[in-house]
Amino acid sequence: MTAARRMVVKVGSRVLCDEEGVLDLAVLGDLVDQIAALREDDWEVLLVTSGAVAAGAGLVGAQTRRIANPVARKQVLAATGQVQLMETYQQLFRGHGLHIAQILATRSDFNTRGHYLNMRACIEAALDTGIVPVLNENDVVSVTELMFTDNDELAGLLAGMTGASHLALLTSVDGVLAGGQGEVIAEWDEGLHGAEQLVQAGTSQFGRGGMHSKLAIARKASGLGTEVVIANGRQPGVLKAIASGEAVGTRFRARGRATPAKRWLASMDGAALGAVVVNAGAEQALRDRSRLVSLLPVGVEEVEGEFQRGDVIQVRSSSGRVLGCGRAQFDHEEARELLGQRDQKPLIHYDYLYLLD
C-alpha cells in the first residue's frame, strides 16, 4: 500500500540555520527550488521542517533570556520563529506558483485513531489539490508525553501514514559514516552494519535528534516499505538524486510492504494501553516471519493493565522483550478469563498485529 512517487522530505535546523539561528535564505530557496522541480516531474512532496525554535532564537533570543522556565522559553521561541519560518516558505513557494498548507502535529495525533485518520485525510486532500503540506511539531503545546523524539520521528510517522514511497532525512553530514568517522555507507545492510557500533548519540544546539534517531527511523520506515535516504541537505541537487536513485548519502532499500493498519500500529508501538506476556512457543511462532500468525489465548501467560476491545496493547516475551503491538479483540477481563485456553478466537488477529524486527 505504497504511493508511488510520493516523498516525505525532512530538513533539520542545522541545515536551515546558521549557528546563531538565523535562517539561511539561500539554503531555503534551493530546497524550495528542488521541491518545485520534483513537483514538475509528477512527484508529491510533504515537507517536514525544523527551524522554528532556532529561527525564534535568532529573532528574540536576547529578549527571552529573562524567561526563567526553560520550557516556557522554548515555547515562546517556537511561537515566534514559526511565523517567520512559514512566511519565508510561503514567499519562496509562491515564486513557483505553489501554495503551502501549514500542519502542526503532536504525538497524540498519531496515538488516537480518530486524530490519525483526520490528519491523513487533510494531508491527502492537500496533495490532491496540488498544495504542498509543510509540517512541524507543535512545539508551543508539545511537552513531555506529547513530544516526538524529534522531527525525524514525525517524518517517519508521516511516511507510514501516507504510504510514501520515499523518505529523505536531510542533515548536515553526508550520510551514515562507517565506524562513526570513516567513509559514507552508500547502502545500509542489516546483516553487515550495526547501529550501536557506527554512531554515537548526540544532538545539535537547536535540535533534539542525532544520527541514532535517524538510523532508528530509517530502519523502521524501510521495514514498512518506504525507501529512505540520509543525506546532506546542503548538497546541490540532493532531492533529484534521491528521487532518481543516484548514489547519494546512505540509502535504506524498502523491505516488504505493510498495510495501512500495520503502518498505523507501527506508530503506536510506544503508546499501548496494556500488555500481554507470551510463552516461549508463542514467541517463536511470532518471530518466524515465514508464517502468518495471530496471537491466540493459549500462548498468553499474563495480561497487564486495563484495556478495552479495539485498544492497542503491547506484546512482550517472558524475558521482557517487546515483540510488537496490536489491537485487542477482547477487553482485559475477557483476556484474563481465556488465559492459556485452546480453541479460542485470536486475542490479536494477524491483520492487526505489528511485530518489531
261-284 per-position pLDDT tens digit: 899 898 887 778 899 999 999 999
pLDDT of residue 325: 95
Domains of the chain: 3-262 (3.40.1160.10), 271-355 (2.30.130.10)
Residue 102 and residue 135: Cα distance in Å, rounded?
6
| 8 CB-contact burial (10 Å; exposed 0-12 / middle 13-18 / buried 19+) | buried
Residue 141 and residue 155: Cα distance in Å, rounded?
19
Q: Which three cell numbers stand for residue 30?
A: 534551493
pLDDT of residue 250: 95
pLDDT in tens, 97-150: 999 999 999 888 887 788 889 999 999 999 999 999 999 988 777 666 556 778
Neighbours of 73 (CB within 10 A): 18
pLDDT of residue 200: 45
Do 327 and 265 form a contact (C-beta atoms < 8 A)? yes
Residues of the chain with pLDDT under 50: 197, 200-209
Do 242 and 329 form a contact (C-beta atoms < 8 A)? no
pLDDT of residue 196: 52
pLDDT of residue 2: 67
